[in-house]
Amino acid sequence: MDVVSPHHRLVIALVLALALAGFPRSGAAAESAAPRRILIRAGHVLDVHNGNEAADQTIIVSGDSITAIGATSATPKQPEDEEIDLHDMTVLPGLIDVHTHLTMDSNFDPYHELSTSVAKSALIGAHNARITLQAGFTSVRNVHAEGYADVDLRDAINAGLIPGPHMQVSGPALGITGGHCDENLLPIQYHLQGGGVADGIEAVQHKVRETIKYGADLIKICATGGVLSKGDDPQASQYTLEELKAIVADAHRLGRKVAAHAHGAQGILWATQAGVDSIEHGSYMNDEDIAAMKAHGTYFVPTAYLIDWMQTNGQLPAFYLQKMKDVSAVEKAGAKKAIAAHVKVALGTDAAVYPHGLNAHELEVYVDQFGMSPLAAIQTGTLNAADLMGWSDKAGALDPGKWADIIAVRGDPLHDVKILQHVAFVMKSGVIYKGGPSAPAAGDPGT
């Protein structure tokens, strides 16, 4: 009897979801039927490099890329061109979220967590990928998914089976036995362990190589305890400095960046000294951490809006709730200090802790609570995020030669960054997913 591999089962499940949900076949199929050029007639085009908002501009898209930007008056329509009328909108590059969990949802009941299979998480990911894309986020890093469900999700999106953002994925996050990235909800007789658990230098080196073998674009590690996990302390460092150095050395040698979940000050410092590329959360960071991050050029990913959302909407089990309150009491103060010290910041949300599609609320926190200018906040989700992902040649700005990842809003986001919570037009790689004639019908999820 033939045996279907877990990887193939996930792909089959995603294809079935596509057929049942009636998702439009975007991607390559849409591109093959498209005119030679698409002319996006913009009211204003935001240059995220400098904040200029040139009026009456046309962005020329050919295939999946931007080929030119110029005055509309100097860009006449040719017979085979398609025109997109955005004359009453501000156009800017698609946003980037470097800390998402597309294969997870915001239900933290322990039974729900334990009863969600890898295949089901992939289907959840297909749903959330579409919502995220239609919210204006055309690229994401997915930092942790059991069973490599995010690898299958990324590959299904790239194959044009389902709509979703460009993805970099980590597969299962590396963590210590009993730590934040282990599975601690069941008693000993089940012997359940997280897929990324590894202890000791040789073991973590093997795990880095294993996750890369099975498709990871980056390595996610848990340098400290966390909030939404049982039995650990967010302030406690988990991996040793030597283990962290071994992880980073192998990851970088093999061409992968490292994102470190880190709440506690010691874990932040050790992860930074080990050479990780980004510190995620950073709740208890102190002056020594900030100085080290500046010295190493380490990015800070605040994941700040989740605190506001949790305070008004969160429903957590008791063994998560107190940790959430403790972290929420200190996290923003550390973030403000790091931003004031000019630590590099990239936009990350931890979407799944709150519902997917609300990602742009993170920008409002950066402006209204952290004191960033709207342009600086937008740069965290464009130029900075692309730099952290190693995609500056592909994404993060409306520059010729980069992907045609383009969004539009009604109004000026440099005057009110909150309007980015209501994106009216989304194009990814030259394919329109929202607000155009070939986009999904109004009323579809995420519109």
Q: What is the pLDDT of residues 164-182, one digit of tens each?
A: 999 999 999 999 998 898 7
Of 66-75, 105-114, 315-324, 434-443, least confident by mean pLDDT is 434-443
Mean pLDDT of 30-57: 87
* pLDDT for residue 8: 54
Residue 104: pLDDT above 80? yes
* pLDDT for residue 395: 98
* pLDDT for residue 82: 96
Integer CA distances (angstroms), 7 to 3, 118, 149, 425, in order: 12, 10, 8, 34
Q: Which of 139, 142, 157, 32 is nearest to 94 (CA)?
A: 139
| Multiple choice CATH, 95-389, 3.30.110.60, 3.20.20.140, 3.30.310.50, 3.40.50.2020 | 3.20.20.140
Written as six digits, the tokens of 121 are 């998480």
Mean pLDDT of 364-387: 98
Q: Which of 434, 380, 404 is nearest to 99 (CA)?
A: 380
pLDDT (tens digit, 9 = 90+) per residue, 109-144? Answer: 888 888 899 999 999 999 999 999 999 999 999 999
* pLDDT for residue 32: 47
Residue 299: pLDDT above 50? yes
Residue 304 sits at the vertex; the CA angle it makes with 299 and 307, to the nearest 5 degrees, is 150
Mean pLDDT of 228-240: 88
Residue 232: pLDDT above 70? yes
Residue 251: pLDDT above 60? yes
Mean pLDDT of 60-84: 97
* pLDDT for residue 35: 54
Q: Is 295 exposed, middle or buried (0-12, 13-18, 19+ CB in 10 A)?
A: exposed
Residue 401: pLDDT above 70? yes
* pLDDT for residue 69: 98
pLDDT (tens digit, 9 = 90+) per residue, 191-213? Answer: 888 889 999 999 999 999 999 99
* pLDDT for residue 28: 42
Going across the sheet that includes 299-301, the strands are: 218-222, 257-262, 278-281, 299-301
The CATH number of the domain covering residues in 27-94+398-434: 2.30.40.10
* pLDDT for residue 440: 60
25 pLDDT band (50/70/90 cuts)?
A: very low
pLDDT (tens digit, 9 = 90+) per residue, 321-349? Answer: 888 898 888 999 999 999 999 999 999 99
Contact status, residue 354 vs residue 316, Cβ threshold 8 Å? no
Asked if the domains 27-94+398-434 and 95-389 are classified in one and the same CATH topology, the answer is: no
Residue 60's DSSP bridge partners are 39, 68
The residue assigned the tokens 């000026």 is 412
Residue positions annotated with a catalytic role: 220, 350
Residue 270 sits at the vertex; the CA angle it makes with 268 and 274, to the nearest 5 degrees, is 115
Residue 90: pLDDT above 90? yes
Residue 261's DSSP bridge partners are 222, 280
Task: Report which of residues 227 and 385 the model is more confident about.
Answer: 385
Average pLDDT of the chain is 91
Contact status, residue 177 vs residue 197, Cβ threshold 8 Å? yes
* pLDDT for residue 157: 98
The residue assigned the tokens 């093999």 is 254
SS3 173: coil
Beta strands in 263-391, from DSSP E residues, in sequence order:
278-281, 299-301
Integer CA distances (angstroms), 354 to 152, 185, 189, 234, in order: 23, 21, 32, 19
SS3 133: helix
Query: For residue 271, which phi and psi values (nearest 5 degrees)?
Result: -65, -40
* pLDDT for residue 229: 85
Query: For residue 72, which phi and psi values (nearest 5 degrees)?
Result: -60, -40
Query: For residue 98, which phi and psi values (nearest 5 degrees)?
Result: -95, 5
Domain map (residue ranges) of the chain: 27-94+398-434, 95-389
* pLDDT for residue 225: 86
CB neighbour list of residue 335: distance below 8 Å, 6 or more residues apart: 282, 300, 302, 304, 370
The residue assigned the tokens 């289907």 is 123
* pLDDT for residue 3: 43
* pLDDT for residue 2: 44
Beta strands in 101-237, from DSSP E residues, in sequence order:
137-142, 166-169, 218-222
Mean pLDDT of 53-81: 97
* pLDDT for residue 444: 45
86 pLDDT band (50/70/90 cuts)?
A: very high
Cβ neighbours of 414 (radius 10 Å): 18
How many whole angstroms separate alpha carbon 387 and alpha carbon 389?
5
* pLDDT for residue 315: 84
Query: For residue 137, which phi and psi values (nearest 5 degrees)?
Result: -100, 105
* pLDDT for residue 351: 97
Contact status, residue 331 vs residue 311, Cβ threshold 8 Å? no
